[in-house]
Amino acid sequence: MSTETTEATRIEELAGRYSDAWNSQDLDAIMNLHTDDCVFVAHAEGTSPAEGSEAVREAFAGYLALLPDINFAERALRIGEDHWVAESTMTGTLAGSLELEGERLGSSGTRVEVACVDVIEVRDGLVARKHTYLDTLAMQRQLGAAR
Amino acid sequence: MTAAWSTSTPATNGAAETRPVAAGDTTPDQARAAAAWVGAFTEGWANPVDTDSFCDHFEQWFQPEVRMIQPSVRPVVGKRAFREEFARPLFDLVPDLHGIVEGWAVSGDVIYIELRLEGTIGRRAFTMHTCDRITLRDGKAIERFAYLDAAPLLKAVARSPRSWPKFVRTQLRSRRRSA
């Protein structure tokens, strides 16, 4: 097995553990797979980049509180030598209404389903950068329709 | 080959950037084709002059039946539709729209490109980010799927009443297509 194949295998395994941690909604397990100086950027209206593990933990905790059963159903996974890209369908049930720029959207029990892609860069066997791109308009439509 | 996530953009003179080649699911030919395509994409978005020069540049990198899928609007199929139904309404609404490639990677025939789009609607500047999945066939795009949050653009429209007639025309054009 070549060095690169071994590295790809390691990254694929990391991607699997990372996905399992998210789909178990296990914040500690998720954060254990991140570097201390990790960065998380959700490319969605009304969000700011989180830099450093404390800020990233806080951001993730917010998502888990909002969508306690959050789940990423993977549609495609592509492994690189220092990254992976995962296309998935994110689903979840709102724990309460979501406040976005002063407007309250959705209510407890509202289901959301939105396509997203994660671009995840790996350093030293851990997640160093996670960029998430998702269609927030679709999510807002679902939440707005549920008001 | 398992390629690295690249935050440097390929040369825009059509020459492929030299990239690490490894065993796996990407052949050296696929890696070169991807680098050339990303170079053209980078150049095309850097400073579009107008709709037609933008389309003239991109169309040579598209298969005739190219299919473009993005949130909130119906898919656009073919080069003519790309020009008339995608690019023209977009540049009519945002004449100074341009994009900066922030990162990319290739896996087989698939390229992922992170693109930052910037433009002005009325006097409202906006920035939005997209991650495009491009599928190549013979070095040309057969499909583009955009993971895009268009909220910044719509917010700029909402705050620029002078842009409303153009935006309404864009929406009506899209609805006529889907009728």
CB contact, 8 Å: B103 with chain A? Answer: yes
Whole-angstrom Cα distance, residue A106 to residue A139?
10
Helices B28-46, B51-59: axis angle to 10 degrees equals 170
Q: Which of B149, B155, B171 to probe the A interface (max A CBs under 10 A)?
A: B149
Contact residues, chain A, for B5 at CB < 8 Å: 80, 82-83, 119, 121
Alpha carbon A40 to its chain centroid, in Å, reads 9
The one-letter amino acid code at A143 reads L
Residue of A nearest to B103 (CA): A119
Q: How confident is the model at residue B14 (pLDDT cuts 50, 70, 90)?
A: very low
| Domain, as residue range, for A96 | 3-145
Report the pLDDT value the prediction gives residue B133, as an integer from 0 to 100.
96
Band (B10; pLDDT cuts 50, 70, 90):
low
Which amino acid type is present at position A66?
L
Nearest partner of A85 among A45, A22, A133, judged by Cα: A133
Q: Does A65 touch chain B (CB under 8 A)?
A: no
- Percent of chain B with pLDDT strictly greater than 90: 61
Q: Note the pTM of the prediction, 2 decimals.
A: 0.85
Nearest to B41 by CA among B77, B76, B16, B12: B12
Distance CA B153, CA B91 (A): 12
- Residue B155: the pLDDT is 81
pLDDT of residue B153: 84
**Neighboring chain B residues of A135 at a CB cutoff of 8 Å:** 71-72, 147-149
| Residues of chain A where predicted confidence (pLDDT) is lower than 50 | 146-147
H/E/C letters for each residue in chain A? CCHHHHHHHHHHHHHHHHHHHHHCCCHHHHHCCEEEEEEEEEECCCCCCEECHHHHHHHHHHHHHHCCCCEEEEEEEEECCCEEEEEEEEEEECCCCEEECCEEECCCCCEEEEEEEEEEEEECCEEEEEEEEECHHHHHHHHHHCC
Whether residue B157 is predicted with pLDDT greater than 50 in this model: the reply is yes
User: Cα–Cα distance between A111 and A129 in angstroms, integer?
Assistant: 28
Residue B9 binned pLDDT confidence (cut-offs 50, 70, 90) = low
What pLDDT, on a 0 to 100 scale, did the predictor assign at position A114? Answer: 92
Supply the pLDDT for residue B23: 33
Residues 63-82 of B with CB under 8 A from A: 71-72
Sequence spans of domains, chain B: 28-178
C-alpha distances (whole Å) from B89 to each of A126, B73, B122 are 43, 12, 15
The answer to whether the Cβ–Cβ distance between B107 and A78 falls below 8 Å is yes
Which tens digits make up the pLDDT trace of B116-130?
999 999 888 999 999
Residue B49 pLDDT > 90: yes
> Touching check for B20 and chain A: CB below 8 Å?
yes
- Indicate yes or no: CB of A119 within 8 angstroms of CB of B103: yes
Q: What is the pLDDT of residue B175?
A: 58
Sort out which chain B residues have CB atoms less than 8 A from A85's CB and list them.
105, 107, 112
Please count the residue pairs, one from chain A and one from chain B, whose beta carbons lie less than 8 angstroms apart. 91
What pLDDT is attached to residue B96?
95
Q: Is B150 on the interface with A (CB under 8 A)?
A: yes
* CATH class label, B28-178: alpha beta
Please state, in angstroms and rounded to a whole number, the distance separating the CA atoms of residues A117 and B71.
Answer: 13
Task: Write down the pLDDT at residue A15.
Answer: 96
CATH of the domain at A127: 3.10.450.50
Q: Would you tell me which residues 105-144 of chain B have a C-beta closer than 8 angstroms to some C-beta of chain A?
A: 105, 107-108, 110, 112, 114, 128-131, 133
For position A7, what pLDDT does the model report? 82
Q: Look over chain A and give the mean of its residue pLDDT values, rounded to a whole number.
A: 90
B17 falls in which pLDDT band (50, 70, 90)? very low
pLDDT tens across B166-177, in order?
666 666 665 565
